[in-house]
């Protein structure tokens, strides 16, 4: 029983502690939990070379109708059984085959999709059909009806990011099915601008423009944050999303930040070091950088990296901090 002061564990104090705990009370001075940054979750990397064959097996074995959403959850190795990639976020890889429909529903968690591989899928969000191509980023705000389909001729894989742990934390998890499998479509966005869809062609052009105008940041290269075009703020109240470019041969400084982030490699290959442990990455690989985990990037070729994190929530709560080591 550690004591934070000079107090000695006398028989009287032990008696007192026992009496206190007979009621729903605890003496704060006996706590063992230290107040320090970081979380129980650990770094991890999921190679597409490993996840793609498993997604294909899932597609062969489980119908979209049975699964509702055919998702392999990126579960943090230190949080097995939780369906969480960090203590505040969910991430998963979803596969949809040609002709399949993922039926319409809505829920209180916010969701994002980042398209990894394959052409021809769409997601419908609150009456708008949004086409999805690799590198596109799509926003599904909380309580918006959403269903997915694949009008192409091959499988499509995307990364789902949700703030379900927030909703669970608050005891505010609600979901319901739409009466129809696919919600009625009022607009087909096609390539028209919508605040819900960020096409890769535009993001990539903006990154190239940024790289022409400014020197790379010593730790994170050239970074863009996705913003809501109406508010100018983050795309969700909880989650922030980013696209970053590491120039070829980039050798970044070590950094840590309090947001836990999930990365998806869009283009290129390189290495992320967690403390000093190297994890090589290729296009379509995903990895998680836990809160307050020291990490640095090295790029073998030009690398484009998508990421999302709980930084939006942390910033609005006044919690977010970053340090260059």
Check residue 202 and report its DSSP letter: H
CB of 161 to ligand 1HN, least distance (A): 9
Number of residues counted as binding ligand 1HN (CB under 6 A) = 12
Nearer to ligand 1HN, 207 or 288 (CB): 288
Nearer to ligand 1HN, 47 or 69 (CB): 69
The verdict on 160 binding ligand 1HN (CB under 6 A) reads yes
What whole-number distance in Å separates Cα of residue 307 and Cα of residue 264? 6
Compute CA distances 142 → 58, 73, 228, 304, 308, whole Å. Answer: 27, 20, 14, 28, 16
CB neighbour list of residue 118: distance below 8 Å, 6 or more residues apart: 134, 150, 152, 154, 155, 156, 157
Scanning 36-44, 156-164, 198-206, 218-226 for contacts with ligand 1HN by CB under 6 A, the matching segment is 156-164
Q: Which of residues 83-102 bind ligand 1HN (CB under 6 A)?
A: 90, 92, 94, 102
3, 27 Cβ separation under 8 angstroms: no
What whole-number distance in Å separates Cα of residue 286 and Cα of residue 145? 27
Nearer to ligand 1HN, 84 or 309 (CB): 84
**Which of 162, 262, 288, 304: binder of ligand 1HN (CB under 6 A)?**
162
Listed residue (254, 250, 237) closest to 289, CA to CA: 254
Number of residues in the chain: 325
The verdict on 311 binding ligand 1HN (CB under 6 A) reads no
CB of 73 to ligand 1HN, least distance (A): 8
The verdict on 272 binding ligand 1HN (CB under 6 A) reads no
CB of 169 to ligand 1HN, least distance (A): 15
Nearer to ligand 1HN, 160 or 259 (CB): 160
What whole-number distance in Å separates Cα of residue 105 and Cα of residue 173? 13
What whole-number distance in Å separates Cα of residue 282 and Cα of residue 307? 15
For the four alpha carbons of 223, 226, 232 and 237, in that order, the dihedral sign comes to: negative
Nearer to ligand 1HN, 67 or 210 (CB): 67
Q: What is the largest CA-CA distance in the chain?
A: 76
Scanning 36-44, 157-165, 204-212, 216-224 for contacts with ligand 1HN by CB under 6 A, the matching segment is 157-165
269, 303 Cβ separation under 8 angstroms: yes
Nearer to ligand 1HN, 73 or 206 (CB): 73
CB of 56 to ligand 1HN, least distance (A): 18
Nearer to ligand 1HN, 132 or 272 (CB): 132
What whole-number distance in Å separates Cα of residue 49 and Cα of residue 34? 40
Q: Which of residues 114-153 bind ligand 1HN (CB under 6 A)?
A: 146
Nearer to ligand 1HN, 46 or 274 (CB): 46
What whole-number distance in Å separates Cα of residue 150 and Cα of residue 122? 6
Q: Which of residues 64-83 bind ligand 1HN (CB under 6 A)?
A: 69, 71
181, 103 Cβ separation under 8 angstroms: yes
Query: Which residues contact ligand 1HN by CB under 6 A?
Result: 69, 71, 90, 92, 94, 102, 107, 111, 146, 160, 162, 164
């Amino acid at each position: 029983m550690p004591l934070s002061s000079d107090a000695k564990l006398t028989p009287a104090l032990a008696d007192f502690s026992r009496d206190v705990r007979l009621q729903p009370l605890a003496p704060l001075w006996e706590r063992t939990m230290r107040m320090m940054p970081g979380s129980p979750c650990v770094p991890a990397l999921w190679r597409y070379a490993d996840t793609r064959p498993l997604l294909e097996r899932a597609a062969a074995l489980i119908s979209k109708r049975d699964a509702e959403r055919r998702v392999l959850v990126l579960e943090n190795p230190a949080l097995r059984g939780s369906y969480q990639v960090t203590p505040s976020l969910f991430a998963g890889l979803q596969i949809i085959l040609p002709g399949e429909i993922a039926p319409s529903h809505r829920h209180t968690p916010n969701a994002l999709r980042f398209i990894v591989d394959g052409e021809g899928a769409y997601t419908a969000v609150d009456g708008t059909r949004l086409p999805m191509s690799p590198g596109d980023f799509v926003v599904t705000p909380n309580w918006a009806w959403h269903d997915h389909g694949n009008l192409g001729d091959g499988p499509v894989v995307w990364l789902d990011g949700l703030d379900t742990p927030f909703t669970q934390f608050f005891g505010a998890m609600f979901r319901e099915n739409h009466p129809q499998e696919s919600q009625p479509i009022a607009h087909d966005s096609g390539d028209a601008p919508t605040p819900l869809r960020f096409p890769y062609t535009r993001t990539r052009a903006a990154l190239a423009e940024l790289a022409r105008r400014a020197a790379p940041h010593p730790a994170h290269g050239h970074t863009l944050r996705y913003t809501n075009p109406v508010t100018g703020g983050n795309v969700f109240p909880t989650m922030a999303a980013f696209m970053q470019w590491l120039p070829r041969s980039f050798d970044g400084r070590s950094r840590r930040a309090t947001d836990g982030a999930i990365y998806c490699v869009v283009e290129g290959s390189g290495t992320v070091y967690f403390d000093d442990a190297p994890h090589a990455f290729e296009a379509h690989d995903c990895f998680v950088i836990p809160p307050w985990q020291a990490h640095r990037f090295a790029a073998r070729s030009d690398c484009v990296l998508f990421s999302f994190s709980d930084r939006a929530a942390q910033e609005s709560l006044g919690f977010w901090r970053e340090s260059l080591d």
